[in-house]
Amino acid sequence: MTRPIVATLNGDALRQNVNIMRQAAPQSRVWSVVKANAYGHGLERVWQNLSDTDGFALLNLEEAILLRENGWKKPILLLEGFFSADELAILDRYRLTTSVHSNWQIKVLAEAKLSAPLDIYLKINSGMNRLGFQPEHVHSAWQKLRALPNVGEMTLMTHFAEADREEGVQEPLRRVALASEGIDAPRSFANSAATMWHPQTHHDWVRPGIVLYGASPTGNWQDIAGSGLKPVMTLESEIIGVQTLKAGEGVGYNYRYRTPGELRLGVVACGYADGYPRHAPTGTPVIIDGVRTQTLGTVSMDMLMVDLTPCPNAGIGSRVELWGEGVKIDEVAQSAGTVGYELMCAVTARVPFKVR
């Protein structure tokens, strides 16, 4: 017997989700964002299910090389560009499109010896104040890059800080429009939220990430409920112990939960060392044998406790869905004060993955 926890990935859901993004932005090409090991799903496991995409966007050279060595010939975009001059030889060899967000990168590109020009994405800081050229510096960066023999096709890019809000793209779009006046080039602005809710941002290439994995960019599952997007990852385990308790008993570390009356409690083989959030309080939803119930007390390293009151037939060996199609990862995240993005990236290496 092995420990019963497993993360199952639904390949059909990935294929469906990428096509939903295509339909949402029918005039645009799609970069599928697979950074952070495909948001924790495992790039090697999932990329073929996303191969209807026009390109893959990521940050690590290792991930880009993995795709090329597995035969991916279409574009790959490095969202943060290169981190040092040494990397340009690899960009050249594997034909990677790179974002350019700083002057030092322009200098390095000017001095590099490449076998052929590289396509670049000029990154504009539209107000998030993370990476990118300030609007007033965009024209000079553009001209410097355009003059370099090492630079091929150039695209303008920006990233939104709050595309999940109704008015969230107005001011950034205004800044980008001013910065790029008179520049005739393809544009790529939209993350998942902008692809879903702001068609005026779509332009030539959209860059959805979180929605490909079937979670909401807002953190609230309801916001994508009617979209057809399907959760890709199901994290499940089993009940490995049962306790029948009287009223007033404490449960788990520091007795953070006390039984209000008699209660049947189940012990699940899943804890924070698997990536389940320790901050998830009593009341976080979970499904046992198809019945929705809740966690009780503090999550331990390897186990957590659940209320079996609504599922009297459940016992040792009963199937537990921590998140998936029944309990959405967004619900667990909300309960724990985080977002689905963080939970999917945080599933740990000891959890076995299956693709179906």
Residues noted as catalytic: 35, 253
Contact call for residues 109 and 151 (beta carbons, < 8 A): yes
Taking each helix axis from N to C end, the angle separating 138-146 and 103-111, rounded to the nearest 10 degrees, works out to 10
What stretches of 75-218 adopt beta strand conformation (E)?
Answer: 76-78, 97-100, 118-124, 151-158, 187-188, 205-206
CA–CA separation, 347 vs 352, rounded Å? 10
Would you count residue 109 as binding ligand PLP (CB under 6 A)? Answer: no
Does 217 interact with ligand PLP (rule: CB under 6 A)?
yes
d(Cα 269, Cα 112) in Å, to the nearest integer?
53
The residue range among 205-213, 218-226, 297-305, 346-354 that interacts with ligand PLP, by the rule CB under 6 A, is 205-213
Q: Between residue 289 and residue 308, which ones bind ligand PLP under the rule CB under 6 A?
A: none
Using CB under 6 A as the binding rule, whether residue 219 contacts ligand PLP is answered as: no
Selected from 127, 172, 208, 324, the binder of ligand PLP by CB under 6 A is 208
Nearer of residues 33 and 251 to ligand PLP, judged by Cβ: 33
- The answer to whether residue 127 forms part of the interface with ligand PLP (CB under 6 A) is no
**Closest C-alpha among 5, 6, 3, 33 to residue 17:** 33
Stretch binding ligand PLP (CB under 6 A), from 104-112, 206-214, 294-302, 332-340: 206-214
- Which is it for the CA torsion 95, 101, 106, 107, positive or negative? negative
In terms of CB distance, is 135 or 219 closer to ligand PLP?
Answer: 219
Nearer to ligand PLP, 135 or 208 (CB): 208
Q: How many CB atoms are closer than 10 A to CB 74?
A: 11
Query: Does 180 sit near ligand PLP (CB under 6 A)?
Result: no
Interactions with ligand PLP, residue window 263-292 (CB under 6 A): none
Task: Indicate whether 210 belongs to the interface with ligand PLP (CB under 6 A).
Answer: yes
The size of the interface with ligand PLP (CB under 6 A), counted in residues, is 11
Given its phi and psi angles, is residue 81 left (phi above 0), alpha (psi -120 to 50 degrees) or beta? Answer: left
- Which residue has 């939960």 as its token pair? 257
Q: In DSSP terms, which residues pair with 221 in a beta bridge?
A: none
Residue with tokens 């295509």: 22
Q: Is 38 in the site for ligand PLP (CB under 6 A)?
A: no
- In this chain, which stretch among 208-216, 220-228, 243-251, 346-354 interacts with ligand PLP, using CB under 6 A? 208-216
- Which residue, judged by CB position, is nearest to ligand PLP in the bound state? 209
Of 55-94, which residues contact ligand PLP (CB under 6 A)? 79
List residues near ligand PLP by CB under 6 A. 33, 35, 79, 159, 191-192, 207-210, 217
